[in-house]
Structure 1
Amino acid sequence: MDISPLIPAGRQIVKGYGDGGFTIAGIRWEGSVLVLPDRTQPWAPTELAQVTEESFAPLLTLAERPRILLLGCGLRMAPVPAALRAALRAAGITVEPMDTGGACRTFNVLVSEDRSVAAALIAV
């Protein structure tokens, strides 16, 4: 019996993480990444202290912004600064911080449900 989630056409999932990068849709990415259901791009922050509103410019310029942003904080979850949370909320985006592994797994579930989601993942 196959229990793999069905992934909608044109969507990608995170297949693996660790050793300083990620495997997403069959491609190995070194360093932190910003993942949308249909594409991935490098992301500059290497630690939570480097995450700013400007870090999310690629999301904020989209015509259709994701409703949910999973923030993979590294090895451990940490709170999102209030100003950053408020700026994202003003843009219509709810940020959910968690450890990077949890963010990868949650992204995969939400993508399989065809939800409006993105993940900002700090490499571990």
Structure 2
Amino acid sequence: MSEPSFGSGYVAGQYTIDGYGAGGFNFGHMSHRGSLLMVPEGVHIWSATRPSEITAESLAPVFAAAKGTVELLLVGTGPDLVPLPAPLRAALKAAGIVSDPMATGAAARTYNILLGERRRVAVALIAVG
């Protein structure tokens, strides 16, 4: 069986985060420099590089997956916690998704725990140096 390829900017499947830092992430025997958006269906390269770029549009895969597969979105906002804007929180809530922003490291660790508990969770992670 071959290992998954991340060449297209998307890879199907759920993966724990094996490591983070140095501007990227390790997961599923892969390494990616830059931000990631992980939903139950798969992992997307995410264009957000700072909290101000976290928008409903940038989170479109989360909203698309929300129909019964995502109930909690962890948002790694970089090295520090940055609250999400009220309109974005409201849009997520209207889609049935609870949002929980935190520093990227905390979001990665919490995601792994919740994934292990088989929770319906997604994570958006801004890469940190």
TM-score (norm 1): 0.87
Structure 1 stretches of 4+ with a deviation exceeding 4 A read none
Determine which of 73, 92, 117 is the counterpart of 1:69: 73
Q: How does 1:103-118 map to 2 (within 5 A)?
A: 103-118=107-122
Is the contact made by 2:39 and 2:61 (CA closer than 8 Å) also made in structure 1?
no
Q: Which runs of 5+ in 2 are unaligned?
A: 1-12
Do residues 24 (structure 1) and 44 (structure 2) align? no
**More displaced 10-residue stretch of structure 1: 54-63 or 97-106:** 54-63
Between the two structures, name the one with larger relative contact order (CA 8 Å, sep ≥ 6): 1
Do residues 99 (structure 1) and 103 (structure 2) align? yes
Residue 53 (structure 2) aligns with? 50
SS at match of 1:123: coil
Residue 33 (structure 1) aligns with? 36
Do residues 90 (structure 1) and 124 (structure 2) align? no
Please report how far the alpha carbon of residue 97 of structure 1 lies from its aligned counterpart in structure 2 after TM superposition: 0.4
Change (3 A) 1:81 1:114: same
Structural RMSD (CA): 1.3
Is the contact made by 1:65 and 1:93 (CA closer than 8 Å) also made in structure 2?
no
Residue 5 (structure 1) aligns with? none
Q: Which runs of 5+ in 1 are unaligned?
A: 1-9
Please report how far the alpha carbon of residue 64 of structure 1 lies from its aligned counterpart in structure 2 after TM superposition: 3.4
Is the contact made by 1:71 and 1:119 (CA closer than 8 Å) also made in structure 2?
yes
Do residues 12 (structure 1) and 15 (structure 2) align? yes
Please report how far the alpha carbon of residue 65 of structure 1 lies from its aligned counterpart in structure 2 after TM superposition: 3.8
SS at match of 2:119: coil
Q: Which amino acid aligns with 1:112?
A: G
